[in-house]
């Protein structure tokens, strides 16, 4: 695989995001992640999963601006459909999924983070942000519901409507981060937590998790992609995305 690494620690499957330098997500990386998550689900020897990063200071800063922001309507619909497949496969995994949030988790990276059962955050000045509103995009219902389930309606509304960064310390305070450790301890702490869940009776864990997701309105069908796609290609969002793309390109251009 080009963008991820897969290994095992006894009965814990470790899926590591490994795309320099910020694990930005394109279609190929989403497909690799989806394949790895599905394989972990189907492997009876795997009792829990950790999704982590090997990029210092970063979990994932979201969608690949250069590639994904250039998709036409059909390509974007296909990409986001596959990303939601990844989100749902992760969310509904009948085994515990622990997120090792080593650093910045923005936009699509933050989407993925809220699909995990628990999250281990690195201490420091990095942040979590669902900043779609800042460039005119909207969140699908399943992601909104997942965030509400984690932090409650008031905090979820603040995070979504402000688009502001949440620090690791604040994330821990509001329940977004279950564990807060030094950056070099994120993976060991995530694997240790995964082993605690792996020790639970597997069928009871799977049934209980599914029942809780039904209780939390996370098991029903999500809204169609039309709302997201229509807003993504609206004049407002298109103009803001173009400005963001140009800003990032200018920053990366040789001086």
For the chain, 255 residues long, the average pLDDT of each consecutive 10-residue run is 95 98 97 98 98 98 95 96 96 98 97 98 97 94 94 98 98 98 98 98 97 85 80 95 83 59
Cα separations in angstroms, 248 against 22, 75, 243: 13, 22, 9
Q: In terms of Cα–Cα distance, which of 82, 73, 153, 136 is closest to 111?
A: 82
**Is position 146 within any domain?**
yes
Contact between residue 35 and residue 91 where contact means Cβ atoms under 8 Å apart = no
Count of the separate structural domains present in the chain? 1
Enclosing domain of residue 145? 4-185
Residues 6+ apart with CB under 8 A from 162: 133
Report the C-alpha gap between 236 and 99 in whole angstroms: 33
Give the model's pLDDT for residue 220: 63
Give the model's pLDDT for residue 110: 98
**Is position 219 within any domain?**
no
Give the model's pLDDT for residue 37: 98
Contact between residue 50 and residue 95 where contact means Cβ atoms under 8 Å apart = no
**Is position 125 within any domain?**
yes
The CATH number linked to 133 is 3.90.226.10
Give the model's pLDDT for residue 248: 74
Q: In terms of Cα–Cα distance, which of 24, 44, 15 is closest to 198?
A: 44
**Is position 238 within any domain?**
no
Q: Residue 21, preceding bond cis, omega within 30 degrees?
A: yes
**Is position 213 within any domain?**
no
Length of the chain: 255
**Is position 192 within any domain?**
no
Q: In terms of Cα–Cα distance, which of 178, 201, 182, 171 is closest to 47?
A: 201
Give the model's pLDDT for residue 253: 56
Cα separations in angstroms, 255 against 70, 242, 250: 25, 22, 9
**Is position 228 within any domain?**
no
**Is position 240 within any domain?**
no
Neighbours of 36 (CB within 10 A): 22
Compute the 3-state secondary structure of the chain and give helix, strand, coil in percent, each to the nearest 5.
Answer: 50, 15, 30
């Amino acid at each position: 695989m080009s963008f991820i690494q897969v290994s095992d620690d006894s009965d814990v499957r470790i899926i590591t995001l490994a795309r320099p330098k910020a694990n930005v997500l394109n279609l190929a990386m989403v497909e690799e992640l989806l394949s790895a998550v599905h394989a972990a689900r189907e492997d009876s020897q795997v009792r829990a999963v950790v999704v982590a990063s090997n990029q210092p200071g970063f979990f994932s800063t979201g969608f690949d601006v250069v590639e994904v922001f250039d998709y036409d309507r059909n390509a974007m619909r296909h990409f986001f459909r596959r990303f939601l497949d990844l989100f749902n496969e992760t969310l509904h995994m009948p085994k515990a999924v622990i997120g090792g949030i080593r650093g910045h988790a923005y936009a699509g990276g933050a989407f993925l983070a809220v699909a995990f059962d628990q999250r281990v955050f690195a201490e420091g000045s990095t942040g979590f942000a669902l900043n779609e509103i800042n460039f005119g995009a909207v969140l699908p219902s399943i992601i909104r519901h997942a965030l509400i389930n984690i932090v409650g309606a008031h905090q979820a509304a603040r995070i979504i409507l402000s688009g502001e960064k949440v620090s690791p310390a604040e994330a821990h305070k509001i329940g977004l981060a279950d564990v807060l450790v030094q950056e070099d301890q994120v993976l060991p702490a995530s694997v240790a937590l995964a082993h605690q869940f792996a020790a639970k009776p597997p069928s009871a864990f799977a049934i209980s998790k599914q029942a809780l997701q039904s209780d939390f309105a996370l098991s029903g069908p999500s809204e169609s992609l039309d709302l997201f796609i229509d807003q993504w290609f609206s004049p407002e969002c298109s103009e803001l995305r173009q400005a963001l793309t140009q800003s990032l390109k200018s920053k990366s251009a040789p001086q």
